[in-house]
Amino acid sequence: MAALTEEQSILKDQATSWVETELPVQKFREFRNSNSDGGFDPKAWSAMVDMGWTGILVPENYGGSDLGYLTFGVILEQLGRQLCASPLFASAYVGASAINMGGNDDQKQRWLPGIVDGSEILTFAVDEQPRHQRDAIASKASASDGGFLLSGAKTFVPEGVSATTFVVAARTDAGDIELFLVPADADGVSRTQMDTVDKRDHARVTLTNVALPTEAHLAGMPSGELYEQVLNRACAGVAMEMLGVGCYSFEMTLDYLKTRKQFGKVIGSFQALGHRAAELYSAQEMARSCAEAGVIAIDNGADDQAAMSALSKAKTGEFLFDMSNQLIQIHGGIGMTDDFDAGFYLKRARALEALYGNQALHRDRYATLLGF
């Protein structure tokens, strides 16, 4: 665990105990079984707002606490441990990052307080095809009547059903990928929920000649830069959630190794399993270092933050991929049953693996960034 300030430690402890008592994975199971729409429990979401988590990345003059990415990452890790469903990451992490970096003062005033008080739910609408590729954006934002006319089709948009505002990546007439704020209730916007293994809110969003004013354009950074920067931050955040999912999977597995008996012994006494646990633990420690380094690099404004975000997503992904498979394997038959939670972790692991690019994509990015 990275060295935390006193304030960060307090927030982390608060998150850990709140998640364990108020939103354990059993709540996710109840939610899944209820077949409700929307992907999360509104009561849990307003509790997160009340605890101030939505303001962690927001400057104080817009109602936030401006505690930075490591702080937010630590909360995401705790939420990942119990598969807590909420729009916190999509809105207060990714959405707030886009506004902070790309918005002018008026735009910040317009959007940030709403993110903090939970009245606005932002989400990043990027992908247009099943495999994430940064430059595969065909959506168009054409200049029109002093504003923009936006068209395109987005898929696998996180929290896409409950979002109030989409942060849409689209190409301008010049061909650059820029970000636009699109109210979910604007004319020409339609969305449908997708049913996915992780039972979270993913939507297909269609944009047909949506008329936008100039103030919908986040123009605070040079062409294409904002899009890259938001994605880098998003990847580092996903890595922190993945770390939480993986660490809890490890703890469940270790507990089982110490209690399950076969051949008259606890199964953790077999060297084959002891060594597998040692390898998984080592991979977990490596993943933690990389995930934390990803968000710390952002807080420090490090020159290599793009490479660090790729490292964090790839190495955490590598650990979680193996860990989620071993979670099932080591639990044996019980791990295959829907009554046991292991399946939830496996399913969420793969959804997060694909989100904003899988391990292979981030290894490719890392090599490119290093110049080979």
Task: List interacting residues with another protein (CB under 8 A).
Answer: 1-3, 254, 257-258, 265-266, 268-271, 273-275, 277-279, 281-282, 285-290, 292-293, 311, 314-315, 360, 363-364, 366-368, 370-372
C-beta atoms surrounding 112 within 10 Å = 26
Nearer to another protein, 180 or 366 (CB): 366
Tokens 């490479």 sit on residue: 307
**Position 104: which residue type?**
N
Provide the minimum distance between the beta carbon of 271 and another protein in the complex, in angstroms, as a whole number: 5
Residue whose C-alpha is closest to residue 130's, from 313, 363, 358, 371: 358
- What is the per-residue DSSP string for 28-50? HHHHHHHT-SSSS-HHHHHHHHH
Nearer to another protein, 192 or 368 (CB): 368
Q: Which is nearer to another protein, 32 or 134 (CB)?
A: 134
Name which of 8 and 165 has its Cβ closer to another protein: 8
What is the DSSP secondary structure assignment for residue 175, as one 8-state letter? S
* Alpha carbon distance 329, 313 (integer Å): 24
In angstroms, what is the minimal distance from the CB of 363 to another protein? 5
Task: For residue 103, give the 3-state DSSP assignment.
Answer: coil
- Beta carbons within 10 angstroms of residue 307's beta carbon: 20
To the nearest whole angstrom, how small is the minimum distance from the Cβ of residue 244 to another protein? 17
Closest distance between another protein and the C-beta of residue 368, in Å? 7
CA-to-CA distance for 47 and 272, rounded, in angstroms?
Answer: 44
Could you tell me the two tokens for 257?
């190794």
Contact 306, 232 (CB under 8 A): yes
Task: Report the residue number, 228 or 364, with the smaller CB distance to another protein.
Answer: 364
Distance of CA 122 to the CA centre of its chain: 13
> Residues with Cβ < 8 Å from 364, sequence gap 6 or more?
none
The residue among 336 and 360 lying less far from another protein, judged by its C-beta, is 360
Q: Which two tokens stand for residue 133?
A: 């590729």
Owner of token pair 């639990």:
331
Query: Which residue lies nearer to another protein by CB, 43 or 265?
Result: 265
Cβ at position 67, least distance to another protein in Å? 20
CB of 312 to another protein, least distance (A): 10
Question: Residue 278 Cβ, how far from another protein at the closest point, in Å?
Answer: 4
